[in-house]
């Protein structure tokens, strides 16, 4: 189909139009520029403080991670290289040296490389050896003895030699930079891409200008192409400003990074070029995804609802790549976002495999092409304005407020830097700070700031006594449900059997203090934030099912640990149902408090979470989970009965 | 100029809504053709299909000889469309709007065309103020100029006088009359009877997605006294 003029002149004209619209928003452009210039250095300072504090606190930490072990395994199969610690034949050795880095360590056991997982908690230096042994003993002793007895060898002849090999300084620092910098950058790029896509597409629908724009003789593909290019150029421009800002500020001495990175300039031309490539790759991906959402969403309200899960979907792989010890396997290399984030981290630390890098590049191009092709198809064939242009329904749409995603992004970034930093400095103090200031404080401040009514949004009203009682029943049985989820999800994601391993070190503190920090405060503050604020705000824009699902995903994601996402996600669903059904945040709070309290009390008493499950434990788990789900359904039924009674009274 | 042939649009739902259900009519060059109907009768949906903003679920239409299904770009190149909202960018000035839209319509010299329209519609005084600061009347002038920027042979106007005060509405009606003088085909949707009496040569009354009557306005007045009486009688009869 042709209009008798080249698509190039049409595209150029449409691009000029987009450019003019963008240029006429000096305020927004200024905000982008400030964000771009501030986020980089702030991220670096946060990283510097994080690493510095961890170094000061301990200098080393190590923690073992062991896969679930099946009962009929043999020595050769039940320990897998790279996944856990290994039993090796050899003489008893008592003099071994363990050195860790602040974030994670590689260990060598009998010459084989074993990855010791990064730990959030930091142990005093003298405890490292002890901790290491504890991990080894706890996970392996019984089975090793049994296995050795089976093959008829005296256990006294065996020992484990552990050698932790510290990485070179520059590799380590590049690695740390590669973990933190892409995270902040991706956050920046997503925010900019989403905002400019919504502004250039969804807002036009809402304001009615899309109607006049689409009635122009331009081909729709040209129009959407121009909008896509405008979003890409904005996003890449902001990202480049971010990278160049870091480069320049270090080059002219505004940022001094020897403490963090050792000798020499960190943001060399090479690093900056890598980051710029990252910006272009991620920018064109998130821009395509944002355009697709903006094209689909009939109005800002819908776009705002869709933006939250989208932001989570894009941020989660990046977070995973930044925080987990992941290598660039072929599967990772073709996974959107995960591939780019992992590749960048490995490239920055000089460990990127060339073939995998190329695969990443190809996969990224393909992804962007698919996303863009899909949105072009949708705009060409899918009646994009159908729902959006229905005048009557458009009149009913209120002002856009990206409250829930914005608040979540704020919490995530603050927790990412401040929370982990504080916990690295002092575990209990860090948790108390994170809970009260970052979770509870931001929940109340965020809701107040967007102007929503506090009491109603946060569901602060007192629950009915029966709901509260059911909350207690659920809280007592919830650890069973959580453990069941942990067992099930361990088939998909390797889950440490001790699901609280990251926090295990706090059991060294007095129990009342632990219960305050890890049970009472999370019960109140996390519920206020994720059920009160997030679920409360989301519910004003969408139905309860989607709101519960999204707020649970947020709750899972904020724990910054992929292994715990299934468990915390399911707990989030339970708490979400409790809030929606009981109308009070306190029912979930009491259940949350009891759940955490029981788990930490067990950990303190037993010295660790329960180990392999016997038959009795399985029965207990299933019964507990069933009681828990039944109690949840009772809260729902009660609410339903009450509603039915009210409507009966109304009609009768 | 405009030939509409059994257009159908069904919105999904339970049950599906047949918003436009087999609408057919024709409008000639130099004619103002009215599409008269209550709110929700299907006027806007019909017009949106005509300017190819919506894909029809059945039937088709030809505008200036181009089929809306097979040559949507050529249809849009022939139509000046004024939607129910003014459709102006708050951030841009009238002059920028006209230049930018002229450029996107592929005009060789969008600037001189913009100046021409600015002069014709008396926009000069506020041509460099942002559209967000303009009064409703000023906005309407800019919208008209915007719709005419590529000098289209067909004008599609969707309830263009809604929200205008009497004086501005008068100016607008004069503009529609001048468009007829210039030989354009004007499709004019409204629910205001007096405008039909004053402007339209022929009118189609649309009710629940169907054309229930398509007559010369003079005939309607002759048979029922006023267009309003005719409208009420025909719609109640339908």
> Angle, nearest 10°, between helix axes A465-489 and A565-582?
160
Average pLDDT, stretch B139-159?
Answer: 92
Residues A478, A571: contact at Cβ < 8 Å? yes
pLDDT digits (tens, 9 = 90+) for A107-130: 444 443 333 333 323 333 444 445
> What is the model's pLDDT at position A474?
87
pLDDT digits (tens, 9 = 90+) for A480-528: 888 888 777 766 655 544 444 445 566 677 888 888 888 999 999 999 9
Identify the closest residue of chain B to A221 by CA–CA distance: B73
> What is the model's pLDDT at position A236?
94
Residue B185, token pair as written in the block: 């085909």
pLDDT of A646 above 80: no
Mean pLDDT of chain A: 70
Residue A265, CA atoms < 13 Å, CB-side half-sphere: 15
Average pLDDT, stretch A440-454?
Answer: 84
CB contact under 8 A, A217 and B106: yes
> What is the model's pLDDT at position A506?
67
pLDDT of A58 above 80: no
SS (HEC) of A462-520: CCCHHHHHHHHHHHHHHHHHHHHHHHHHCCCCCCCCCCCHHHHHHHHCCHHHHHHHHHH
Identify which of A143-157, A301-315, A393-407, A551-565 has the greatest average pLDDT.
A551-565
Higher-scoring residue by pLDDT: A338, A143: A338
Q: Which of A55-59, A285-289, A430-434, A568-572 has the lowest mean pLDDT?
A: A55-59
The number of helices, as runs of H, and strands, as runs of E, in chain B is: 9, 10
> What is the model's pLDDT at position B75?
93
Question: CA–CA separation, A183 vs A164, rounded Å?
Answer: 28
> What is the model's pLDDT at position B237?
80
Identify the closest residue of chain B to A19 by CA–CA distance: B100
CB contact under 8 A, A392 and B40: yes
Structure confidence at residue A97 as a pLDDT band (50, 70, 90) = very low
Question: CA–CA separation, A548 vs A632, rounded Å?
Answer: 14
pLDDT of A81 above 50: no
Decide the pairing of beta strands A105-109 and B32-36: unpaired
> What is the model's pLDDT at position B6?
92
Mutate to test the interface with B, among A217, A386, A390 (most CBs of B within 10 A): A217
Identify the closest residue of chain A to B155 by CA–CA distance: A215
Q: Which residues, including other chains, have CB under 8 Å from residue A518's CB and lie 6 or more apart?
A: A431, A503, A506, A596, A600
Identify the closest residue of chain B to A207 by CA–CA distance: B87
Size of chain A, expressed as the number of residues it contains = 652
Least CB–CB distance from B53: residue in A3, A214, A392 = A214
> What is the model's pLDDT at position A650?
43
> What is the model's pLDDT at position B68?
92
Least CB–CB distance from A211: residue in B72, B83, B150 = B83
Residue B110, token pair as written in the block: 């969008």
> pTM for this structure?
0.64
Q: Which of A64-68, A338-342, A559-563 has the lowest mean pLDDT?
A: A64-68
**What's the order of all strands across the beta sheet hosting A163-165?**
A112-116, A105-109, A163-165
Q: How distant is the Cα of A45 from the closest Cα of chain B, in angstroms?
A: 38
- B9 CB near a chain A CB, below 8 Å? no
- For chain A positions 113-132, those within 8 Å of chain B (CB to CB) are none
Mutate to test the interface with A, among B42, B74, B87 (most CBs of A within 10 A): B87
**Cα dist. A284→A4, A242, A290, A306, B4 in Å?**
31, 16, 10, 19, 42
Residues A86, A109: contact at Cβ < 8 Å? yes
Residues A551, A572: contact at Cβ < 8 Å? yes
- A15 CB near a chain B CB, below 8 Å? no
Structure confidence at residue B33 as a pLDDT band (50, 70, 90) = very high
> What is the model's pLDDT at position B27?
92
- A27 CB near a chain B CB, below 8 Å? no
Structure confidence at residue B100 as a pLDDT band (50, 70, 90) = very high
Mutate to test the interface with B, among A21, A23, A211 (most CBs of B within 10 A): A211
> What is the model's pLDDT at position A326?
63
Residue A98, token pair as written in the block: 């363990």
Identify the closest residue of chain B to A383 by CA–CA distance: B54
- For chain B positions 19-78, those within 8 Å of chain A (CB to CB) are 40, 44, 48, 51-55, 71-74, 76-77
pLDDT of A262 above 80: no
- B173 CB near a chain A CB, below 8 Å? no
> What is the model's pLDDT at position A248?
81
Calculate what percentage of chain A has a pLDDT beyond 70. 61
pLDDT of A205 above 90: no
Residue A24, CA atoms < 13 Å, CB-side half-sphere: 19
Tell me the chain A residues in contact with residue B81 when contact means C-beta distances shorter than 8 Å: 211-212, 215
pLDDT digits (tens, 9 = 90+) for A279-329: 888 888 889 888 888 887 777 766 776 777 677 777 777 777 766 556 777
Q: Which residues, including other chains, have CB under 8 Å from residue A340's CB and lie 6 or more apart?
A: A182, A278, A281, A282, A285, A360, A364
Identify which of A197-206, A245-254, B65-74 has the greatest average pLDDT.
B65-74
Question: Could you report the predicted ipTM of this complex, rounded to two decimals?
Answer: 0.89
Higher-scoring residue by pLDDT: A337, A107: A337
Question: CA–CA separation, A604 vs A171, rounded Å?
Answer: 38
Average pLDDT, stretch A581-604?
Answer: 88
Q: How distant is the Cα of A299 from the closest Cα of chain B, in angstroms?
A: 15
Question: CA–CA separation, A392 vs A387, rounded Å?
Answer: 10
Size of chain B, expressed as the number of residues it contains = 238
Structure confidence at residue A567 as a pLDDT band (50, 70, 90) = confident
Backbone phi, psi, residue B213, to 5°: -160, 140
pLDDT of A19 above 90: yes
Question: CA–CA separation, B218 vs B48, rounded Å?
Answer: 28
Tell me the chain A residues in contact with residue B92 when contact means C-beta distances shorter than 8 Å: 20-21, 24
Identify which of A317-331, A502-516, A623-637, B12-26 has the greatest average pLDDT.
B12-26
Q: How distant is the Cα of A624 from the closest Cα of chain B, in angstroms?
A: 43
pLDDT digits (tens, 9 = 90+) for B35-57: 998 888 889 889 989 998 888 88
- A392 CB near a chain B CB, below 8 Å? yes
Least CB–CB distance from B53: residue in A3, A215, A217 = A215
> What is the model's pLDDT at position A5?
63
Least CB–CB distance from A383: residue in B55, B88, B101 = B55
Question: CA–CA separation, A163 vs A165, rounded Å?
Answer: 6
> What is the model's pLDDT at position B125?
93
- A212 CB near a chain B CB, below 8 Å? yes
DSSP designation for B125? G
Average pLDDT, stretch B94-110?
Answer: 94
Q: How distant is the Cα of A385 from the closest Cα of chain B, in angstroms?
A: 7
Decide the pairing of beta strands B32-36 and B202-207: parallel
Average pLDDT, stretch A377-399?
Answer: 46
């Amino acid at each position: 189909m042709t209009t008798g003029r080249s698509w190039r002149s049409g595209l150029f004209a449409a691009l000029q139009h987009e450019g003019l619209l963008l240029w006429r928003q000096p305020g927004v452009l200024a905000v982008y520029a400030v964000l771009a210039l501030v986020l980089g250095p702030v991220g670096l300072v946060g990283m510097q403080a994080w690493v510095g504090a961890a170094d000061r606190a301990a200098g080393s930490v190590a923690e073992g991670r062991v896969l679930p072990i099946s009962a009929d395994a043999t020595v050769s199969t039940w320990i897998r290289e790279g996944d856990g610690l290994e039993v090796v034949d050899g003489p008893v050795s008592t003099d071994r040296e363990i050195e860790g880095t602040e974030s994670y360590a590689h260990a060598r056991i009998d010459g084989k490389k074993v990855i010791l997982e990064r730990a959030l908690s930091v142990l005093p230096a003298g405890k490292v050896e002890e901790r290491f042994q504890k991990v080894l003993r706890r996970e392996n002793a019984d089975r090793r003895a049994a296995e050795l007895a089976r093959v008829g060898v005296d256990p006294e002849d065996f020992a484990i030699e552990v050698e932790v090999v510290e990485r070179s300084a520059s590799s380590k620092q590049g690695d740390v930079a590669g973990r933190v910098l892409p995270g902040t950058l991706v956050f920046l790029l997503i925010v900019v891409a989403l905002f400019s896509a919504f502004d250039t597409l969804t807002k036009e629908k809402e304001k009615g200008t899309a109607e006049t724009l689409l009635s122009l003789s331009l081909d729709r593909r040209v129009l959407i192409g121009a909008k896509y290019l405008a979003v890409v150029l904005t996003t890449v421009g902001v990202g480049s400003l971010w990278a160049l800002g870091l480069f320049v500020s270090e080059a002219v001495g505004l940022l001094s990074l020897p403490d963090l990175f050792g000798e020499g300039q960190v943001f060399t031309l090479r690093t900056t070029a890598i980051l710029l490539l990252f910006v272009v790759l991620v920018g064109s991906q998130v821009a395509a995804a944002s355009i697709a959402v903006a094209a689909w969403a009939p109005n800002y309200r819908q776009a705002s609802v869709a933006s939250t899960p989208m932001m989570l979907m894009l941020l989660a792989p990046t977070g995973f790549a930044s925080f987990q010890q992941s290598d660039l396997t072929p599967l990772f290399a073709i996974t959107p976002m995960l591939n780019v984030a992992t590749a960048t981290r490995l490239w920055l630390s000089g460990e990127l495999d060339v073939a995998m890098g190329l695969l990443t590049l190809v996969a990224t191009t393909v992804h962007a092409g698919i996303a863009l092709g899909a949105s072009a198809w949708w705009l060409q064939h899918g009646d994009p304005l159908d729902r959006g242009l229905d005048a009557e329904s458009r009149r009913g749409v209120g002002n856009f407020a990206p409250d829930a995603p914005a608040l979540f992004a704020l919490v995530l970034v603050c927790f990412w830097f401040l929370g982990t930093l504080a916990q690295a400095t002092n575990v209990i103090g860090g948790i108390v700070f994170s809970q009260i200031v970052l979770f509870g404080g931001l929940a109340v401040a965020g809701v107040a700031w967007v102007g929503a009514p506090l009491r109603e949004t946060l569901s602060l009203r007192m629950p009915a006594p029966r709901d509260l009682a059911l909350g207690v029943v659920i809280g007592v049985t919830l650890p069973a449900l959580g453990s069941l989820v942990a067992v099930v999800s361990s088939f998909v994601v390797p889950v440490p059997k001790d699901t609280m391993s990251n926090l295990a070190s706090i059991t060294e503190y007095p129990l009342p203090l632990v219960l305050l920090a890890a049970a009472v405060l999370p019960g109140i503050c996390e519920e206020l934030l994720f059920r009160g604020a997030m679920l409360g705000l989301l519910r004003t824009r969408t139905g309860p099912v989607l709101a519960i699902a999204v707020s649970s995903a947020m709750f899972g994601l904020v724990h910054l640990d992929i292994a715990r996402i299934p468990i915390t996600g399911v707990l989030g669903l339970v708490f979400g149902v409790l809030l929606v059904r009981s109308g009070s945040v306190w029912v979930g709070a009491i259940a949350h408090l009891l759940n955490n309290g029981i788990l930490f009390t067990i950990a303190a008493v037993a010295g660790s979470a329960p180990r392999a499950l016997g038959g009795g434990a399985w029965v207990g788990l299933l019964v507990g989970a069933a009681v828990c789900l039944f109690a949840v359904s009772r809260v729902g039924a009660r609410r339903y009965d009450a509603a039915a009674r009210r409507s009966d009274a109304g009609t009768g | 100029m405009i030939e509409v042939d059994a257009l159908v649009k069904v919105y999904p739902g339970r049950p599906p809504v047949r918003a436009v259900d087999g609408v057919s009519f024709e409008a000639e060059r130099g004619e103002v053709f009215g599409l008269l109907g209550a709110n929700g009768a299907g006027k806007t949906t019909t017009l949106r299909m005509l300017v190819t903003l919506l894909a029809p679920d059945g039937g088709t239409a030809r505008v200036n000889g181009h089929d809306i299904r097979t040559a949507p770009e050529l249809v849009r190149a022939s139509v000046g469309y004024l939607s129910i909202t003014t459709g102006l960018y708050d951030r841009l000035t009238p002059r920028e709007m006209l230049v930018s839209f002229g450029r996107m319509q592929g005009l060789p010299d969008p600037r001189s065309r913009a100046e021409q329209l600015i002069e014709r519609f008396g926009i000069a005084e506020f041509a460099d103020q942002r559209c967000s600061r303009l009064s409703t009347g000023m906005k309407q002038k800019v919208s008209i100029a915007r719709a005419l920027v590529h000098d289209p042979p067909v004008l599609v106007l969707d309830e263009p006088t809604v929200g205008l005060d009497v004086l501005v509405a008068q100016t607008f009606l004069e503009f529609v009359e001048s468009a007829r003088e210039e030989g354009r085909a004007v499709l004019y949707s409204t629910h205001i009877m007096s405008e039909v009496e004053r402007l339209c040569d022929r009118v189609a009354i649309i009710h629940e997605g169907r054309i229930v009557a398509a007559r010369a306005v003079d005939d309607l007045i002759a048979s029922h006294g006023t267009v309003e009486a005719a409208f009420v009688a025909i719609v109640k009869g339908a």
